[in-house]
Amino acid sequence: MITGGDAATTQGPSGSELVTFLYGDLTGLSRGRSFPLRDLPERLHSGVGWVPADQALTPFDEIADPNPWGPVGDLRLLPDRRTEVRVDRWPEASALHFFLCDAVETDGARWEACPRALLKEALSALERDAGLRLVAAFEQEFHLSGPGRSGPAFSMEAHRLVEPFGPMLVAALEEGGQEPETFLPEYGPGQYEINCRPAEGIAAPDRALSVREIVRESARRLGHRASFTPIVDPDGVGNGVHVHFSFLDEDGRPAGYDPARPGRVSEASGQFVAGILRHLPALVALTAPSVISYLRLTPHRWSAGFTAFGDRNREAAVRIAPTYAGADPERQFNLEYRAADAAACPHLALAAIVLAGLEGIREKLPDPPLIAADPAEMRDEERARLGVRRLPGSLEEALDALEADEVARSWLPPLLLECYLSMKRTEIRLLDGAEPTESCARYLDVY
Ligand code: GLU
Ligand code: MG
């Protein structure tokens, strides 16, 4: 724990060091309040103030009306000490110092609409009812603007053109405790990807949010801008957030891998994926929830256009990731949910994935068929026979699917659902009449 520090270290060339308590809200953005470092010991207990109606903030900062709270009420943002990030490597700027928080009632009680609390409950239910602990890693793509020309996809040129962004980012992630693994220029112009080690339970989406903040800060320090927007150009590739996940049993041994079964997925993993696919049209309203997410979730972009499960198939919504020779396959084995992007609150998205999967386990659903082809290239009858459905074509359709799916609706506490639907429909209204290119520009600016 870095907390505290003596008074002398709290004054830098940029002024008094501030600590920010951040809340990962329903838009996938982190918002919060800052205070002087000297107050941290006390603030760790008391938190900072927060406003319930802020939960209804759209990505474009208009608060959805109606929302369940209006002008009334108060909350606290209470930090989870394990989420502390402090990166102090830029002479021209103060340390980037923050904690991620739960939103709680002023008396400290659970607030019904907090997505982080919902995820904790979903993970406990998975452990209690299925004996499984979840390990996950969020593979995140983003767009870097500022360095000028971008080199060919994956090329050394594209690595080096943004110097010293890569090494600076990796060092900042290391200092911030995020265990970076790989940094790469991706397929799209100006597109990059960052991967960090998997983490157990709530630490995984916490990491997703912290990594985004460190990426954005590293870009800012070089005068660039990093955006995790779901898609930059309507005709280009999207920025995916692929959620890799695997299971441990109660003793911490890998569960979920069974080399004797098709795709090497254990019975429980197969059921879990079946639950996800059954509810996927509703699920995407929570995991890919911007207006432009539906430009990305279209065939031939290696994102996900259909409710398909595939072994190493990049057009599948849930993919079995590869394992490599030379290391224990049981430990490497993981599944990848690809129908997510950074407009989703990672805690809410993961909670919904877990609750959908758990539903599949409870109902003992059969393994979904493994789709080896591009689902868009299959004939209609073939898709129908295999239960492969097209995903919703717009955010409106996805929200309608969520409302129509009684099981999916029940995953969210009523106030959270009410707020979410109202906020998302306001977001749609705010882009009413905008051309796709203009909508992309709006999201690029925010994320
Ligand atoms: N950019 C693709 C997406 O939108 C993913 C490409 C890949 O890394 O497989 O999900
Ligand atoms: Mg990628």
Residue 296 CA, closest ligand 1 atom number: 4
Q: What is the pTM of this model?
A: 0.96
Output the pLDDT for position 5. 46
Residues 6+ apart with CB under 8 A from 275: 356, 357, 358, 359, 360, 361, 363, 365
- Tens of each residue's pLDDT in the chain, 447 residues: 454 444 445 666 668 899 999 999 999 999 999 999 999 999 999 999 999 999 999 999 999 999 999 999 999 999 999 999 999 999 999 999 999 999 999 999 999 999 999 999 999 999 999 999 999 999 999 999 988 888 999 999 999 999 999 999 999 999 999 999 999 999 999 999 999 999 999 999 999 999 999 999 999 999 999 999 999 999 999 999 999 999 999 999 999 999 999 999 999 999 999 999 999 999 999 999 999 999 999 999 999 999 999 998 999 999 999 999 989 999 999 999 999 999 999 999 999 999 999 999 999 999 999 999 999 999 999 999 999 999 999 999 999 999 999 999 999 999 999 999 999 999 999 999 999 999 999 999 999
Q: Which ligand is nearest to the CA of 185?
A: 2
What's the CA-to-centroid distance between 193 and ligand 2, angstroms?
6
Residue 231 CA, closest ligand 1 atom number: 4
Residue 148 CA to residue 189 CA, distance in Å, equals: 11
What's the CA-to-centroid distance between 302 and ligand 1, angstroms?
5
Q: Which ligand is nearest to the CA of 301?
A: 1
Residue 237 CA, closest ligand 1 atom number: 1
Residue 239 CA, closest ligand 1 atom number: 4
Distances (CA, A) of 410 to 114, 361, 390, 398: 15, 17, 23, 16
What's the CA-to-centroid distance between 320 and ligand 1, angstroms?
15
DSSP 106: T
Q: Which residue from 436, 170, 195, 227 is spatially nearest to 342, judged by alpha carbons? A: 227
What's the CA-to-centroid distance between 47 and ligand 2, angstroms?
37
What's the CA-to-centroid distance between 192 and ligand 2, angstroms?
8
The pair of structure tokens assigned to 104 is 């709680």
Are the C-beta atoms of residues 392 and 284 closer than 8 Å to each other? yes
Cα first-last separation, the chain: 29
Ligand 1 pocket test target in 140, 184, 186, 293 with most atoms within 8 Å of CB: 186
Ligand 1 pocket test target in 194, 242, 447 with most atoms within 8 Å of CB: 242
Counting beta carbons within 10 angstroms of the beta carbon of residue 171, is it exposed (0 to 12), middle (13 to 18) or buried (19 or more)? middle
Ramachandran bin of 262, using left for φ above 0, alpha for ψ from -120 to 50, beta for the remaining angles? beta
What's the CA-to-centroid distance between 141 and ligand 2, angstroms?
6
Ligand 1 pocket test target in 187, 297, 298, 306 with most atoms within 8 Å of CB: 187
Residue in the structure block whose two tokens are 């760790």: 44
Number of H helices, E strands in the chain: 14, 18
Output the pLDDT for position 125. 98
Residue in the structure block whose two tokens are 């995820």: 119
What's the CA-to-centroid distance between 357 and ligand 1, angstroms?
23
Ligand 1 pocket test target in 138, 139, 141 with most atoms within 8 Å of CB: 141
Residue 238 CA, closest ligand 1 atom number: 4
What's the CA-to-centroid distance between 436 and ligand 1, angstroms?
20
Paired sense of beta strands 133-145 and 241-248, if any: antiparallel
Residue in the structure block whose two tokens are 């019904």: 112
Nearest CA to ligand 1 atom 6: 302
What's the CA-to-centroid distance between 117 and ligand 2, angstroms?
29
What's the CA-to-centroid distance between 201 and ligand 2, angstroms?
23
Nearest CA to ligand 1 atom 7: 302
Residue 439 CA to residue 447 CA, distance in Å, equals: 12
Binding-site residues, ligand 1, Cβ < 6 A = 141, 237-238, 240, 296, 301-303, 314, 338
Residue 141 CA, closest ligand 1 atom number: 1
Residue 182 CA to residue 195 CA, distance in Å, equals: 5
Beta-carbon-side half-sphere exposure of residue 438 (alpha carbons within 13 Å):
6
Residue 303 CA, closest ligand 1 atom number: 10
Residue 191 CA, closest ligand 1 atom number: 1
